A and B are shown apart, each in its own frame.
Chain A
Amino acid sequence: MGDRWSRCNNCRRILYKQDILDNLYVCPACGFHFRISAKKRLELLYDNGEYKLYDKNISSMDALGFKDSKDYSDRLKEQRKKTSLKDAVLNAEGFMGGIKVLISAMDFSFMGGSMGSVVGEKVTRAFERALDEKIPVIVVSCSGGARMQEGVLSLMQMMKTSSAIGRLDQAGIPYISVITDPTTGGTTASYAMLGDINIAEPNALIGFAGPRVIEQTIKEKLPKGFQRAEFLLEHGMLDDVVERKNLRSYLICALRVFLNLAS
């Protein structure tokens, strides 16, 4: 397919690419929410798309000497080149509806948004910065879970990030979790589920175990819609499912309410 055309992953329609871009990367025909980069996410959420990046020069290292089909260190180099990112999350500060707010936005294109030492560190720093500056913080999750190549170091990032959220609780600092497609494993089982409110985009896959693992365990096909945002809303795990076009205004409204900024 050329530069001008794109096919929707969901309705399979051929679409004019510009129409998708103009529609916040949502299929104009069926409403399917395409995965977007962390950079795009920040642009869509902040006032005038303006923000300042923090913690920019933290990059992963191969602490375990991990080697599957290739060395983890080589994989990291490749990923950095391919994505122009240092790792799978961006930390930013800016304004939303005039309210100063920190956002950590995950990027699935960097090793499936997996959480290793860098993601854990940066998300924790965002929480700690929020605590220091007494400003609200949002994490936009998009992640396949803990990064296997960093072994138990990745697993422990779940505790590191969750502990930082514990401090926000005590200090009365708002933390909102926005969960996007897909978010599974250790990311779901730590900061993604720990928002004061948890909000998801429509149809986002959200779970602990991956659908394939569950199918293998129970030896049957999963019901339609299983582990999708609407399913989680129904089961009490989310506060709401919000379309991308409404997400920014929803978050601003929530922040105003939490911070008692009545207009």
Chain B
Amino acid sequence: MGKNKDYYQIEKNIQGYKKEIDRLEEEEDTDKERVKKLRDSIKKEWEKIRPQLTALQFVQIARHPDRPYTLDYIEAMINDFLEFHGDRRSGDDPAIVAGFGTYRGRTAAIIGHQKGRKTRERIARNFGQPNPEGFRKALRIMKLAEKYGHPVVTFIDTPGAFPGLGAEERGQAEAIAFNLKEISKLKVPIVNIVIGEGGSGGALGIGVGDELLMLENSFYSVISPEGCAAILWKDQSAVSKAAENLRFLADDLVEFGVADKIIKEPPGGAHIDWLKTFSNVDKELEKALKKIEKMSVEERLEKRYQKYRKIGVFGENDEPK
């Protein structure tokens, strides 16, 4: 997970400009001309870099420790956020944040993976890897949203469900499976936003609904490139190859009918300009919600069913071969 050094080298110039912008913006009398020039330089540099990035480098951006996390989006976009805790069965999972707040004049349930920024918080949040309690808490809050008729917004950013002993004992698989089934029937609008890492079942457990929005440099995959390299290539040096093969970037997911919309990131990626990122996410989220809120419950549930029903590629030939 910490192998982002490769990418830090690539974004060195951009980070240099960003530091300068941050310094200027701290000053009382910000030199706006200079900031604009620096932003242009970032843009130019990014236009050179982005087309050449490998799938693995996109993964490194998606996992960038400076990217905004769920709580950062909540702070920027949600008023009166109340975080709720616990699954009412055995515990509370800090890897998933869930609660209610106001989003653009309406109450919404907000649920998301939370990775943690400083070492101590990262450990406390288990690096954003949920245990069964996290999935169960998320579902509890979704059901509460259904009770009141509020929409649900989920932020996806996890390396995956936690592969631990206790997680297995307490039914990690059942927790995810049950969420999928229940979410398919949940009457209120559900928008999922992949803000970073969409790691397998851990992402899926709160990562399905009516519309899936993906940040431009995020990914959503059946397995991490590291896991895939270990299993199929039996070789950690094949991580880059695995990443290319898995086709898990935002463009790919639109092509496969999994993602409905790509949210633009600012030049350099979400971590270079949080404000711009929030404003882009805000715009697309509102658009998606408005569209889904207009539908009747029956229409919404049928459309949700058909969205997943259609996913898959296979051949069918009635002639017995």
Contact B181 A163 (CB under 8 A): yes
Complex interface residues of chain A between 27 and 60 (CB less than 8 A to chain B): 56-60
Flag if A68 contacts B172 (CB, 8 Å).
Answer: no
- Shortest Cβ distance from residue A226 to the other chain B in the assembled complex, whole angstroms: 7
Which A residues touch B169, using CB under 8 A? 235
Q: Indicate whether A14 reaches chain B with its CB closer than 8 angstroms.
A: no
Name the contact of A58 in the complex, choosing from B184, B316, B319 (C-beta under 8 A): B316
Q: Give which listed residue, A117, A165, A188, A194, contacts B314 with CB less than 8 A.
A: A117
On whether the beta carbons of B201 and A158 are closer than 8 Å, the reply is yes
Contact call B312/A152, Cβ cutoff below 8 A: no
How many of chain A's residues touch chain B, expressed as a range? 35 or more
Can you offer 6 A-B residue contacts whose CB atoms are under 8 A?
A146-B222, A153-B313, A159-B208, A169-B181, A189-B177, A209-B163
Across chains A and B, the number of contacting residue pairs, with CB separation under 8 Å, is 198
- One digit per residue, 1 when the CB lies within 8 angstroms of any chain B CB and 0 when it does not, for chain A 131-172 equals 000000000000000111011111111111011111101100
Q: Which residues of B contact A235 (CB under 8 A)?
A: 169-171
Q: A65-B245, A67-B245 are in contact. List 14 more A-B contacts (CB 8 A).
A: A57-B317, A59-B314, A59-B317, A66-B246, A120-B312, A157-B312, A158-B177, A159-B208, A170-B185, A188-B177, A189-B172, A191-B177, A194-B178, A209-B168
A237 within 8 A of B: yes
B314 touching A214, Cβ below 8 Å: no
Specify which chain B residues have a CB less than 8 angstroms from the CB of A147 in the assembled complex.
Answer: 222
Please tell me if the beta carbons of B163 and A152 are within 8 angstroms of each other in the complex: no
User: Taking the complex as formed, is B164 at the interface, i.e. its CB lies under 8 A from any CB of chain A?
Assistant: yes
- For B305, list chain A residues within 8 Å (CB): 163, 167
Q: Which positions 154-187 of chain B face chain A at CB distance < 8 Å?
A: 161-165, 167-174, 176-178, 180-182, 184-185
Tell me if B320 counts as interface (CB < 8 A to partner A): yes
A118 touches B165 (CB 8 A): no
A209 to chain B, nearest CB (A): 3
The answer to whether the Cβ of A254 comes within 8 Å of any Cβ in the partner chain is no
CA distance A58 to B314 in the complex (A): 7
State A26–B225 Cα separation when bound (angstroms).
Answer: 38
Least CB distance, A27 to chain B, in whole angstroms: 27
Q: Which of B30-38, B247-255, B268-276, B285-293 contacts A (4 or more CB under 8 A)?
A: B247-255
Cβ of B200 to closest chain A Cβ, rounded Å:
7
Stretch at the interface among B78-86, B98-106, B227-235: B227-235
Contact of B320 among A57, A153, A208 (CB under 8 A): A57
Interface residues on B, range: 35 or more
Contact pick for A150, options B181, B253, B313, CB 8 Å: B313
CB neighbours of A68 from chain B (8 A): 232-233, 241, 245
* Contacts A153-B256, A186-B222 given; does A217 touch B163 at CB 8 Å: yes
CB distance from B242 to the nearest CB of A (A): 8
| B318 and A57 form a contact (CB under 8 A) | yes
Inter-subunit contact B200/A155 (CB<8 Å): yes
Q: Which of B164, B181, B231, B321 contacts A217 (CB 8 A)?
A: B164
| Whole-angstrom CA separation of A189 from B321 in the bound complex | 33
Chain B residues near A189 (CB-CB < 8 A): 161, 172-174, 176-177, 201, 204-205
A213 vs B178: C-alpha distance when bound (angstroms): 23
Contacts A63-B313, A148-B222 given; indicate if A162 touches B171 (C-beta within 8 A).
no
Q: How far apart sit A222 and B169, CA to CA, in the bound complex (Å)?
A: 12
Which residue of the partner chain A has the closest CB to B319?
A: A57
B311 with A156: CB separation less than 8 A:
yes
Which 4 A-B pairs rank lowest in CB-CB distance, beginning with the nearest?
A209-B163, A117-B312, A162-B180, A163-B184
Question: Cβ of A159 and Cβ of B308 under 8 Å apart?
Answer: yes
Q: How far is the CA of A236 from the CA of B187 in the complex (A)?
A: 29
Given A152-B258, A153-B312, A190-B177: A162 and B184 interface contact (C-beta under 8 Å): yes
Q: A152-B258, A153-B256, A237-B171 are in contact. Are A158 and B181 (CB under 8 A)?
A: no
